[in-house]
Amino acid sequence: MTNYVYIATSLDGFIATRDGGIDWLNEIPNPEKSDFGFVEFMSGIDAVVMGRKTFEKVVSFDPWPYDRPVYVVSRGKPELPEDLQGKVEIIKGSPKELVEQLQEFGHQDLYIDGGITIQGFLEADLIDEMIITRVPVLLGEGVPLFGKLPQILDFSHCKTEIFNDMLVKSHYSRSRE
């Protein structure tokens, strides 16, 4: 099983403003209406795992952006809109338990999304690849991509691409001995 992170971050390492806002991402000039490689990335993903706060943000997108199963990690039971019944499932457990459960469902390649969820998977050393796009903006504060870790995690640089002379997308792979 391969667990991926695919996310945009500000230069100072935030994925959202303090109140969870991501409007700053909509201010990126995109005259060619590029998806910056997201569709290609998603073509290799079996399922999406995201935290509740991320789900609450994504559920407002029109149209719903995913054509594969989405699993929302939550201790509670967020209300699912009727049109997402059968597309989204609420799951609970540690990152290790979630990976085991989703493997039993037949999923092999997971897209892990949301700050707290990504941090939990990194803490459990369950992220295999990270694709991080740095946006040239300083937010000053907000939701950080990374948090404290119990150990050093080494990653190898795979490649870097530049989009619109401003976005720097770098791909990293976990180095394990």
Mean pLDDT by 10 residues, the chain (177 residues): 96 96 89 84 97 92 91 87 91 96 96 97 98 97 96 98 94 94
Q: Are 111 and 149 in contact (CB under 8 A)?
A: no
Q: What pLDDT is stored for residue 34 in this prediction?
A: 79
2, exposed or middle or buried, with CB in 10 Å at 0-12, 13-18, 19+? middle
Q: What pLDDT is stored for residue 47 in this prediction?
A: 98
Neighbours of 119 (CB within 10 A): 19
CA–CA dist 45, 42 (Å, integer): 5
**Could you give phi then psi for residue 71, rounded to 5 degrees?**
-115, 125
Please, what are the domains in the chain?
2-174 (3.40.430.10)
CA–CA dist 101, 120 (Å, integer): 16
